[in-house]
Amino acid sequence: MSEQWIYLNGQFVPKHEAKVSVYDHGYLYGDGVFEGIRVYSGNVFRLKEHLIRLYESAKSIMLDIPYTLAEMTEAVAATIRRNELVDGYIRLVISRGDGNLGLDPASCPRPNIVIIAEQLALFPAEYYQTGIPIITVATRRNRPDVLSPQVKSLNYLNNILVKLEAKLAGVQEALMLNEQGYVAEGSGDNVFLVKGNKLITPPSSAGALEGITRNAIMELGEQLGYDVREEVFTRHDVYVADEVFLTGTAAEVIAVIKVDGRTIGDGTPGAHTNRLLEAFRQLVVQDGEKIYTADQVS
């Protein structure tokens, strides 16, 4: 396989030489923001939405990204072209940058900007064929008034604690509840319930990240005639849903077949989930912001 090139502050660096300082505040304090983006058949799926979310996260933590949106778009495109990536995953990381050991971001004169474009390590195919069992965990979603889940920051410890609990219980993913006990989201994905003709997902105010995949599924759901709702719901609502599924850039649409030991539906991926997954897979190849195929490599 040819060399993988990492975009690091405007330069392309071979993967094994792409390094940032131990004084980077992203490393020292989780001070920074990131995005995960997919490329399908040379189409970058909803790049603009991802970049808007990135810039909003950065604004929220007063991190000035020294690129315009157009420049960042071009940097992502250049990274894709350089790696001749047709299908894969982009990780865009903006940390506060190198500083001293104090918390104050003032010691960091400029952010470190990293773009990684790689062949996706896809979720195992059987997840899509059989669906996955999940649990709800004791770890609560961090409160929006403490650290908003809308800030996609480098501080993902809340999510990591969820992942640890899930793995300890022998499952791959789990749902977190918010401080009021309503369902918020998974460790790295949003959650949807199907009940009759209703397609329900928690509102962002309940602690759910406004996922790009979530928004796409809500649009597709409307087009397919579902009654799409952003509503809070409880664990009980999850247990008695007709179908439950997770959405995310990495996960796409994954059926949930068991929650806390309760079988969902007949314990296999449901027809609605499969229909939405199929619609999503059609959308992602049609709906790219721009096409950056390998044959455009200059």
Active site residues: 152
Out of 153, 155, 190, 273, the only residue in the binding site for ligand PMP (CB under 6 A) is 190
Out of 95, 136, 159, 204, the only residue in the binding site for ligand PMP (CB under 6 A) is 159
Residue nearest to ligand PMP (CB): 211
185 Cβ neighbours under 8 A, 6+ residues apart: 141, 149, 175, 176, 191, 202, 207, 208, 209, 211
The yes or no reply on residue 188 touching ligand PMP (CB under 6 A) is yes
Find the binding residues for ligand PMP in span 11-50 (CB under 6 A).
36
Site string for ligand PMP, 112-141 (x = CB under 6 A): ------------------------------
* Burial label, 236 (beta-carbon count in 10 A; 0-12, 13-18, 19+): exposed
The residue (of 79 and 153) whose beta carbon lies closer to ligand PMP is 153
Out of 185, 200, 201, 218, the only residue in the binding site for ligand PMP (CB under 6 A) is 185
Q: CB 216 → ligand PMP: shortest distance, Å?
A: 8
The residue (of 99 and 211) whose beta carbon lies closer to ligand PMP is 211
Out of 177, 212, 259, 277, the only residue in the binding site for ligand PMP (CB under 6 A) is 212
Q: Which residues bind ligand PMP (CB under 6 A)?
A: 36, 159, 185, 188-190, 209, 211-214, 247-249
